[in-house]
């Protein structure tokens, strides 16, 4: 596997002297980014969870799988942070059916104009089951909205209510519009589901599907008069959504074989960046949105020697029609790569879990468990996502945490261990760092915000703690005259690898409790790669040059 120097391009040649800390008002170099992330300073308990379920004819086993394993999600939401209870949730279900525009009447399964229009589906699907009195399931501090549930455990009532409503059927339009359905469901100007989306809640969106998104901006994509292989739009099948919604190295339906470099295109479909911006805007930042998909995988395992992921995209044709080859399959069905959905999910640090699981195995259980754990980690979570940079371009880390390896001081300098800085013969600091940590050198600014989103919003900058307070053995209340100040400390118990975050977290040291709703915003120089990428894991050293 490849080994990389952990330095930005602007610092790569600085063998004798490091780069100066740069202004956050300046644009970052092209191979690093300015990371801005909010960190709640009190435990937040409100989460709105929206399930976007494909209700086309191929989804019978997958819908059953979801209902069977939903309880695993709820159990994963139980947290010591909440005294063993689950967050205060709204849980809603929508379908992917928005019809097929003006052509829907001529297309089987798409005859309903506008389909379900993003409205929450809450009718009881099982005879005698207990459904919620609202269009969504609600649980708040032990109180639910499921009046006919006779189970004394309110959390079990939530599980039963989901099974009651999460069977949207199999008669939906086969041109699935997952992203547009989610937008319609959550856009308050559309007013499809008033009261479901709460201003103070995290948002989790979960896509369950065996097809990719086909959210059409131009309804002529569904023109049923074009049916032949040589017609401009080709046969009236879901391959149109791939052909005119994805651009690859080869864009010819007559040419079968693998495709590479496939990215969303916008000839007939909505720009996926529109949806990324929408979800971010309605919650005031990506840090308050959790995305996941149980769908067709888009990439295979890393290929050596460069460790790159291969796209699982291949086109077949039989001379009469083209079709997208499955990226996974089981004895009961298959799925095609969810490229457009994947682009949106990955923009929020989410994952695509394969939908191709057998009920004889664990089914959707592991994927739902991972989602629950990620939601819990977001409630008051302090996990740092991207690797942070120090002024000389190295990655900030601490020996013993992850793969951290500290460089040695240059031959003409010695290490001032108390401050973690290499000094020259005259005792002058150099730009090289040493010791067992350079977390205190992270190039960051942090502020505390109270009254966020109100007329009383106030932001106050907080100083970095002295180096001796970066010792995690020092309780966060023992900051003396430095209070309040911020530091970075290991958070390996909460910030686990499966959550796709670093094992480090921010911590504001203070002697009093933060006011409810207070958040910290950290603005940092950060690397473009992730903590568990080979650039970090296989590097010979961190924190700069040896």
**Where exactly are the structural domains of the chain?**
9-42+384-537, 46-216+269-297+328-378
Per DSSP (E only), the strands in 304-366 are 308-311, 314-317, 322-324, 328-330, 333-335, 351-354
Greatest CA span in the chain, whole angstroms? 84
Half-sphere exposure of 401 (CA within 13 A, CB side): 24
Here the tokens at position 465 are 């703690």
Per-residue pLDDT of the chain (546 residues; tens, 9 = 90+): 233 333 333 333 232 333 444 444 444 455 788 988 888 888 889 999 999 999 999 999 999 999 999 999 999 999 888 889 999 999 999 999 999 999 999 999 999 999 999 999 999 988 999 999 999 999 999 999 999 999 999 999 999 999 999 999 999 999 999 999 999 999 999 999 999 999 989 999 999 999 999 999 999 999 999 999 999 999 999 999 999 999 999 999 999 999 999 999 998 999 999 999 999 999 988 888 999 999 999 998 655 444 567 889 999 999 999 999 999 999 889 999 999 999 999 999 899 999 999 766 789 999 999 999 999 988 877 889 889 999 988 999 999 998 899 988 988 999 998 899 999 999 999 989 999 999 999 999 999 998 877 788 999 999 999 999 999 999 999 999 999 999 999 988 778 887 778 899 999 999 999 988 888 999 999 998 888 888 888 888 899 854
Q: What angle do CA 95, 98, 100 make, to 5 degrees?
A: 140
Q: For residue 305, say if its preceding peptide bond is cis, omega within 30 degrees of 0.
A: yes
Dihedral sign computed on CA atoms, order 93, 99, 100, 106 = positive
Q: String of b and e for 353-384 (b: at least 16 CB within 10 Å)? A: bbbbbeeeeebbbebbbbbbbbbbbbbbbbbb
Here the tokens at position 1 are 């596997």
For the whole model, what pTM was predicted? 0.80
Per CATH, the number for 46-216+269-297+328-378 is 3.40.50.410
- Phi (first) and psi of residue 78, to 5 degrees: -70, 135
Distances from the Cα of 245 to the Cαs of 178, 202, 212, 213, in angstroms?
A: 14, 30, 10, 9
Place of tokens 């008069």: 225
- Whether residue 319 contacts residue 228, with contact meaning beta carbons closer than 8 Å, is answered with no
- Distance (Å, rounded) from C-alpha 380 to C-alpha 507? 11
């Amino acid at each position: 596997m490849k080994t990389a120097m952990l330095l930005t391009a602007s610092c790569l040649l600085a063998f004798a002297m490091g780069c100066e800390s740069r202004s956050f008002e300046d644009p970052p170099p092209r191979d690093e980014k300015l990371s801005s992330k909010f960190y709640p300073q009190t435990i937040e308990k409100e989460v709105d969870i929206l399930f976007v379920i494909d209700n086309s004819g191929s989804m019978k086993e997958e819908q059953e799988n979801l209902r069977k394993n939903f309880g695993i999600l709820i159990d994963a939401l139980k947290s010591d942070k909440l005294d063993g209870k689950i967050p205060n949730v709204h849980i809603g279900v929508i379908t992917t059916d928005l019809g097929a525009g003006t052509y829907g009447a001529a297309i089987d399964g798409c005859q309903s104009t506008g389909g379900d229009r993003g409205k929450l589906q809450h009718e009881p699907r099982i005879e005698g089951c207990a459904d919620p009195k609202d269009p969504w399931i609600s649980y708040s501090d032990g109180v639910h909205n499921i009046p006919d549930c006779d189970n004394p455990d309110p959390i079990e009532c939530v599980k039963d209510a989901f099974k009651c409503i999460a069977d949207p059927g199999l008669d939906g339009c086969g041109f699935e519009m997952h992203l547009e359905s989610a937008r319609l469901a959550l856009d308050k100007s559309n007013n499809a589901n008033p009261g479901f989306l709460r201003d103070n809640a995290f948002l989790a969106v979960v896509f369950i599907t065996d097809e990719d998104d086909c959210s059409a901006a131009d309804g002529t994509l569904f023109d049923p008069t074009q049916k032949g292989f040589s017609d401009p739009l080709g046969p009236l099948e879901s391959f149109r959504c791939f052909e005119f919604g994805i651009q690859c190295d080869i864009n010819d339906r007559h040419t079968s074989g693998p495709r590479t470099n496939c990215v969303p295109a916008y000839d007939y479909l909505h720009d996926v960046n529109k949806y990324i911006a929408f979800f971010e805007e309605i919650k005031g930042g990506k840090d308050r949105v959790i995305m996941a998909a149980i769908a067709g995988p888009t990439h295979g395992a890393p290929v050596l020697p460069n460790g790159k992921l291969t796209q699982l995209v291949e086109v077949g044709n039989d001379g009469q029609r083209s079709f997208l080859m499955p990226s996974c399959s089981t004895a009961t069905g298959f799925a095609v790569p969810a490229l457009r959905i994947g682009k949106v999910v990955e923009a929020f640090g989410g994952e695509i879990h394969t939908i191709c699981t057998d009920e004889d195995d664990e089914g959707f259980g592991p994927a739902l468990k991972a989602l629950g754990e990620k939601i819990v980690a977001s409630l008051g979570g302090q996990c740092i996502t991207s690797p942070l940079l120090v002024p000389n371009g190295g990655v900030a880390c601490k020996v013993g945490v992850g793969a951290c390896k500290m460089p040695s001081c240059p031959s003409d300098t010695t290490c001032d261990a108390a401050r973690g800085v290499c000094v020259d013969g005259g005792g002058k600091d150099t730009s090289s760092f040493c010791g067992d940590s350079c977390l205190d050198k992270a190039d960051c600014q942090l502020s505390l915000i109270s009254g966020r989103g109100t007329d009383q919003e106030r932001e106050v900058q907080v100083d970095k703690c002295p180096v001796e307070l970066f010792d995690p053995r020092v309780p966060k209340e023992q900051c003396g005259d430095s209070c309040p100040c911020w530091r970075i400390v290991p958070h390996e118990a909460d910030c686990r690898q499966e959550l796709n975050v670093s094992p480090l977290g921010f911590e504001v040291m203070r002697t009093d409790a933060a006011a409810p709703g207070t958040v910290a915003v950290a603005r940092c120089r950060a690397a473009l790669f992730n903590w568990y990428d080979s650039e970090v894991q296989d590097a010979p050293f961190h924190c700069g040059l040896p």
